Amino acid sequence: MPLTTPGPTLGVVGGGQLGRMLAEAAAPLGVDVVVSDPTPDAPAAPVARDQVVGDFDDEETVRELADRADFLTFEIELADPDLLERIAAETGTPVHPDPDTLRTIEDKLVQKRRLAEAGVPVPEFRAVDTAAELRAACEELGYPAMLKARMGGYDGRGNLPVGSPDDVEDAFAEIVDAAQGGSQDEPAGVAMVEEMVDFERELAVMGCQGAVEHGDGAADGTDAAPERDTFPVTETVHREEILRETLSPTRADEAVNERAREVALDVLDVMEGRGVYGIELFETADGEILLNEIAPRPHNSGHWTIEGCHTSQFEQHVRAVTGRPLGDTGRRAPTVSANILGGGESRRAATLHGEASIFETPRAHLHWYGKREVYRLRKMGHVTLVGEDHDAPADLLSTVASVRDDLSFAE
Amino acid sequence: MPLTTPGPTLGVVGGGQLGRMLAEAAAPLGVDVVVSDPTPDAPAAPVARDQVVGDFDDEETVRELADRADFLTFEIELADPDLLERIAAETGTPVHPDPDTLRTIEDKLVQKRRLAEAGVPVPEFRAVDTAAELRAACEELGYPAMLKARMGGYDGRGNLPVGSPDDVEDAFAEIVDAAQGGSQDEPAGVAMVEEMVDFERELAVMGCQGAVEHGDGAADGTDAAPERDTFPVTETVHREEILRETLSPTRADEAVNERAREVALDVLDVMEGRGVYGIELFETADGEILLNEIAPRPHNSGHWTIEGCHTSQFEQHVRAVTGRPLGDTGRRAPTVSANILGGGESRRAATLHGEASIFETPRAHLHWYGKREVYRLRKMGHVTLVGEDHDAPADLLSTVASVRDDLSFAE
């Protein structure tokens, strides 16, 4: 594929911070980015060539995106796999990852079943379509257990711990209500419940899958397989089920990191289509790795790769989707990141104070997402801190967390 | 200055590759970029929020830019210092660096006189306003000498070696012709001539100057001075007076690098206003440093800092102009770069072949400038190659040069 101007155009369903960082990474490669997002002047808009304003699952919007693009991708699971599949077939604009992968992942029960079948270690889980089923499942799995809406949850939304038998009815009602927006329809296929994993720490691996390569001895194509790689394992720190900080290298044993990488590669075996995948994992008390969740796109746990690795997760996604070889995923130096989350209760214009401390900290890097409004726990930006080879990740973490804790949004 | 969305807006006169890389660096900092450029859809346009289409010295264009911006800067010396100064005064939008610095630098004779007065070591030079004066100067300085148009030259345009007494008349006529576009006006103030420096190698230092800081003991402000720093010294390789490759660290002795840095800091003493400055130097056969030329903006010799340093020259310029503290200029690893220059004779649509070798080379990074047309020696992009600590810059150079030499533009 020769380089031209305008270059190949990447159409991205979703124009949030992931679309923005994709556009930042695409520009040096000569890849034009057009995003679609229902919010006019979405975060990605100022750095993308253009934005199509429309819902993620609006047919006309996605068709316009496909007509303008050489490749389609998505930065949000709210994209509609059926629509993407149909429009890709009609317009001839390929979608990566495969919409079928999105379909598998967007339903957490289908995702877990598929992975369990493939031999990926997952927490014990049950489908629960009634409160009675939830109660029976919790008796088996033990209290507390984690009740999850099958569709639509992210950043902890749609996840609800069930602490005791007394909580079953209310928890189930709440999940049904959230999943159905208050409709009184039959709640079949709405929820699943998982054993609550007593984890030592949470890890994440960004996996990446490129175009299909043909093995040397495979004139018949039998050992053809996509190019695959992983980024260095990341330790993730959540509070209120929202990612707060990341560290790489992790504080886990090397054997644990190696096991995390193996599980991630097993997960990629199940995924169809080019792109990067955020693979969230638990390290249990006895050093076992269990899969938590997968996102078929760049992921918050990989933002540190922008400064921390030779190739960022965003460049890697652009390379993979546009059919270029994958880049070097090696870590350049110990690197940590801290999310800047909205505080306060009201939804209001975003005005961040205290950002001077970011600029005054050597090797700290601000990534501001360009969102006009802030509300509690909204992801507004992140700060990455790059260390030197001898720096302990825990020390870097305390520095970046303290810089981040100096920030506040004007009420 | 709290962070908001939209953030502070940086207006950039010029929308070429420097404007593009400024916009790429500004986005994560939450700084919006608007550029002005006479060519619609200039290289910076797809990554900037907007482009005002108009000449660099067109009053209406620059006024619109100032009206939309919180800070003005320029990425091309063809910006008009008088116009910038007047519009800054009228609109209250500050311009950095100071237009007076641009005025000093854009006239190579004024630049050299000012630096020589300040004690910066420069090659011997003479103002020459007639062919007879050129002949007399060459007799003093020796043949060959370098004849330079005082205004408007860049990338070697406007520089002409005078090899022998026989060349004097033609060389002077050519410079006058180039400088005046064929007008028959009195050629006073058109040219200067310099001794031809028999250099061992060429070096460059990106200097940076931030906002004024007040010394600790300076309640009266007497030791107030701008924050100043330099990036690590770069070795530059030119052919046909156009930059082809850079290396950092350089292959020069450490004492030479240190002297280059001292000279760069002396140069900054003469410069007024915030921003980065490209300072091109000669290392003579006996290890002396002489100033060659200055650009009051990010410079091709500093492109490697995007991957090679903790802060890139582009982020540094954005920080300085918008009044943020300067970032850490430390080098992360040995880093080289090679320019992708147009070949062939015709002006035609740009289609680059062979770019796969860039993507297949680990730690090689493409920067495509998004220019629609290619012609001989036009800067179309560059490739940066990041090494490991033990890598010799010369080895990295031969790898990156070989990747670049695989590239070709379709005729």
- This model of the complex carries an ipTM of 0.93
pLDDT tier, B158 (very low <50, low <70, confident <90, very high otherwise): confident
pLDDT tens per residue across span B370-393: 999 999 999 999 999 999 999 999
Lowest-pLDDT range of A333-337, B150-154, B166-170: B150-154
Which residues of chain B lie closer than 8 angstroms to A366, CB-CB?
A: 28-30
Q: What pLDDT was estimated at residue A331? A: 98
Residues 366-405 of A with CB under 8 A from B: 366-368, 370-372, 381, 386
Q: What pLDDT was estimated at residue A155? A: 58
Substitution target in B47, B213, B361, B391 with the highest count of A β-carbons within 10 Å is B47
- The torsion region of residue A344 among left (phi > 0), alpha (psi -120 to 50) and beta comes to left
The conformation of residue A353, written as its DSSP 8-state character, comes to: E
E-only strand ranges, B70-166: 71-74, 125-128, 145-149, 159-162
Lowest-pLDDT range of A65-74, A169-178, B160-169, B332-341: A169-178
pLDDT tier, B77 (very low <50, low <70, confident <90, very high otherwise): confident
Token code pair at residue B291: 């100033």
Torsion angles phi and psi, residue B217, rounded to 5: -90, 20
pLDDT tier, B184 (very low <50, low <70, confident <90, very high otherwise): low
Nearest 5°: CA angle at A263, between A258 and A267?
145
Q: A28 vs B368: CB contact, 8 Å cut-off?
A: yes
C-alpha span between A158 and A147 (Å, rounded):
8
The conformation of residue B218, written as its DSSP 8-state character, comes to: -
pLDDT at A116 over 60: yes
Residues whose CB is less than 8 angstroms from the CB of residue B182 and which lie 6 or more positions away in sequence, other chains included: none
Question: Is residue B298 within 8 Å of residue B21, measured between CB atoms?
Answer: yes
Q: What pLDDT was estimated at residue B38? A: 97
pLDDT at A187 over 50: no
Q: B359 vs A23: CB contact, 8 Å cut-off?
A: no
Q: How near does any CA of chain A get to the CA of B397, in Å?
A: 18
Task: Provide the β-strand partners of residue B374.
Answer: B348
pLDDT at A247 over 60: yes
Q: What pLDDT was estimated at residue A123? A: 97
C-alpha span between A248 and A242 (Å, rounded):
18
Minimal Cβ distance to B351: which of A4, A328, A368: A4
- Counting Cα atoms < 13 Å in the Cβ hemisphere of A354 gives 11
pLDDT tier, A137 (very low <50, low <70, confident <90, very high otherwise): very high
Q: What is the mean pLDDT of residues B296-305?
A: 98
C-alpha span between B44 and B25 (Å, rounded):
12
pLDDT at A37 over 60: yes
Helices marked H in B94-243: 99-106, 108-117, 131-141, 168-180
pLDDT at B253 over 80: yes
Q: What is the mean pLDDT of residues A253-267?
A: 97
Question: Is residue B84 within 8 Å of residue B97, measured between CB atoms?
Answer: no
Q: B27 vs A20: CB contact, 8 Å cut-off?
A: yes
Q: What is the mean pLDDT of residues A163-190?
A: 77
pLDDT at A186 over 70: no
Q: Is A382 helix (H, G, I), strand (E, B) or coil?
A: strand
Q: Is B246 helix (H, G, I), strand (E, B) or coil?
A: strand
Question: Is residue B356 within 8 Å of residue B338, measured between CB atoms?
Answer: no
More confident residue, A151 or B258: B258
More confident residue, A213 or A183: A213
pLDDT tens per residue across span A328-358: 999 999 999 999 999 888 999 999 999 999 9
Q: Is B262 helix (H, G, I), strand (E, B) or coil?
A: helix
Minimal Cβ distance to A352: which of B2, B32, B366: B2
Q: Is B404 helix (H, G, I), strand (E, B) or coil?
A: helix
Torsion angles phi and psi, residue B369, rounded to 5: -90, -5
Q: How near does any CA of chain B get to the CA of A93, in Å?
A: 22
C-alpha span between A380 and A126 (Å, rounded):
35
Q: What pLDDT was estimated at residue B46? A: 94
C-alpha span between B308 and B231 (Å, rounded):
10
Substitution target in B5, B39, B369 with the highest count of A β-carbons within 10 Å is B5
More confident residue, B222 or A296: A296
C-beta atoms surrounding B184 within 10 Å:
7
The conformation of residue B69, written as its DSSP 8-state character, comes to: -
C-alpha span between B292 and B260 (Å, rounded):
12
C-alpha span between A281 and A344 (Å, rounded):
31
pLDDT at A261 over 80: yes
Q: B47 vs A27: CB contact, 8 Å cut-off?
A: yes
The DSSP string of A33-77 is EEEEESSTT-TTTTTSSEEEES-TT-HHHHHHHHHH-SEEEESST
Question: Is residue B375 within 8 Å of residue B346, measured between CB atoms?
Answer: yes
pLDDT tier, A218 (very low <50, low <70, confident <90, very high otherwise): very low
C-beta atoms surrounding B390 within 10 Å:
7
Token code pair at residue A358: 């970011």
Give the nearest chain A residue to B367 (CA atoms).
A28
E-only strand ranges, A62-214: 71-74, 125-128, 145-149, 159-162, 191-195, 199-213
Q: What is the mean pLDDT of residues A361-389?
A: 96
Q: How near does any CA of chain B get to the CA of A368, in Å?
A: 5
Which residues of chain B lie closer than 8 angstroms to A370, CB-CB?
A: 5-7, 27, 30
Nearest Cα residue to A210 out of A193, A190, A195, A224 = A224
Tell me what percent of the residues of chain B surpass a pLDDT of 70. Answer: 94
pLDDT at A185 over 60: no
- Counting Cα atoms < 13 Å in the Cβ hemisphere of A90 gives 14
Residues 262-321 of B with CB under 8 A from A: 310, 319
Placement of tokens 């020696």 in the chain = B377
Q: What is the mean pLDDT of residues B153-160?
A: 70
Q: A368 vs B5: CB contact, 8 Å cut-off?
A: yes
**CB distance from A349 to chain B under 8 Å?**
yes
Q: B4 vs A349: CB contact, 8 Å cut-off?
A: yes
C-alpha span between A232 and A331 (Å, rounded):
7
Nearest Cα residue to B146 out of B132, B131, B163, B127 = B163
Average pLDDT over all residues of chain B: 93
Q: What is the mean pLDDT of residues A307-328?
A: 97
The conformation of residue A177, written as its DSSP 8-state character, comes to: H
Tell me what percent of the residues of chain B surpass a pLDDT of 90. Answer: 84
Q: B46 vs A32: CB contact, 8 Å cut-off?
A: yes
pLDDT tier, A224 (very low <50, low <70, confident <90, very high otherwise): confident
C-alpha span between B247 and B309 (Å, rounded):
13
Token code pair at residue A281: 């994992």
Strands B32-37 and B50-53, bridge-based pairing: parallel
Q: What is the mean pLDDT of residues A86-102?
A: 96
CA gyration radius for chain A?
Answer: 21
Give the nearest chain B residue to A30 (CA atoms).
B368
Nearest Cα residue to A300 out of A320, A269, A330, A276 = A276
Please report the number of interchain residue pairs, chain A to chain B, with beta-carbon separation below 8 angstroms.
125
C-alpha span between B35 and B44 (Å, rounded):
7
pLDDT tens per residue across span B5-29: 888 999 999 999 999 999 999 999 9
C-alpha span between A351 and A21 (Å, rounded):
21
Torsion angles phi and psi, residue B367, rounded to 5: -125, 105
Q: What pLDDT was estimated at residue A1? A: 73
- Across chain A, which distance is largest between two alpha carbons, in Å? 65
The amino acid at residue B49 is R
Torsion angles phi and psi, residue A352, rounded to 5: -95, 125
Stated as kind and residue range, the H or E segment containing B124 is none
C-alpha span between A187 and A133 (Å, rounded):
12
Nearest Cα residue to B272 out of B97, B89, B103, B118 = B97
C-alpha span between A208 and A157 (Å, rounded):
26
pLDDT tens per residue across span B387-408: 999 999 999 999 999 999 999 9
| CB environment A212-239: b (16+ within 10 A), e (fewer) | eeeeeeeeeeeeeebebbbbbbbbbbee
C-alpha span between A109 and A128 (Å, rounded):
10
pLDDT at A242 over 80: yes
Token code pair at residue B234: 């770069």
pLDDT tier, B218 (very low <50, low <70, confident <90, very high otherwise): very low
Q: B365 vs A28: CB contact, 8 Å cut-off?
A: yes
Q: What is the mean pLDDT of residues B178-189?
A: 58
Cα→Cα distances B128→A209, B137, B190, B210, B310, Å: 63, 8, 8, 36, 44
pLDDT tens per residue across span A282-293: 999 999 999 999
C-alpha span between A158 and A390 (Å, rounded):
41
Most confidently modeled range among A28-37, A176-185, B104-113: A28-37
Torsion angles phi and psi, residue B51, rounded to 5: -125, 135
- Across chain B, which distance is largest between two alpha carbons, in Å? 65
Strands B9-13 and B71-74, bridge-based pairing: parallel
Q: What is the mean pLDDT of residues B241-247?
A: 95
Lowest-pLDDT range of B89-103, B146-160, B344-358: B146-160
- Rounded to two decimals, what is the model's pTM? 0.94
C-alpha span between B381 and A146 (Å, rounded):
52
